Amino acid sequence: MTKKKSTTEDIEEVLQEIGGKIEELVKKGAEAGSEVKEEIEQRIKDLKENKTSLEEELRKGKEMLAREFKEKKEEMDPKIQESKGFLKESLRQFGLAVKAILGKK
């Protein structure tokens, strides 16, 4: 069974690929002539700008998810605590019922 990648993992993978392509273009740029070299340098510049904006979007997305998680957790915490109380009481009642049944035999 394969593990599904999260959106964050997908974005990080894309960013790593972009970094790899930048390095590849830098190597090709060093080997290329001046006209081709200028084009490659422009592509490198564009890729770096894209990578920077993608990293910023990823950071914003992570912050937003963390904030939403915290808000939902704070919203649900009283209900969870109440449910824990109900669960404890039901287990106590179940224990008393078992004792009553076993005591009658």
pLDDT tens per residue, range 46-85: 888 888 888 888 888 889 989 999 998 899 998 889 999 9
* DSSP H or E stretch at residue 48: helix 34-104
Answer whether 73's CB lies under 8 Å from 51's CB.
no
Question: Quick one: pLDDT band at residue 32, thresholds 50, 70, 90?
Answer: low
Q: At what angle do helices 7-31 and 34-104 cross, to 10 degrees?
A: 160
Q: What pTM was estimated for this model as a whole?
A: 0.46
Question: Quick one: pLDDT band at residue 105, thresholds 50, 70, 90?
Answer: low
Domain range annotation of the chain:
7-104
Question: Quick one: pLDDT band at residue 88, thresholds 50, 70, 90?
Answer: very high
3-state secondary structure of 5: coil
List all residues 6 or more positions away from 7 whose beta carbon is below 8 Å from its beta carbon. 61
pLDDT over 90 percentage in the chain: 18
Answer whether 30's CB lies under 8 Å from 1's CB.
no
19-36: buried (b, 16+ CB within 10 Å) or exposed (e) per residue? eeebeebeeebeeeeeee
Answer whether 44's CB lies under 8 Å from 26's CB.
yes
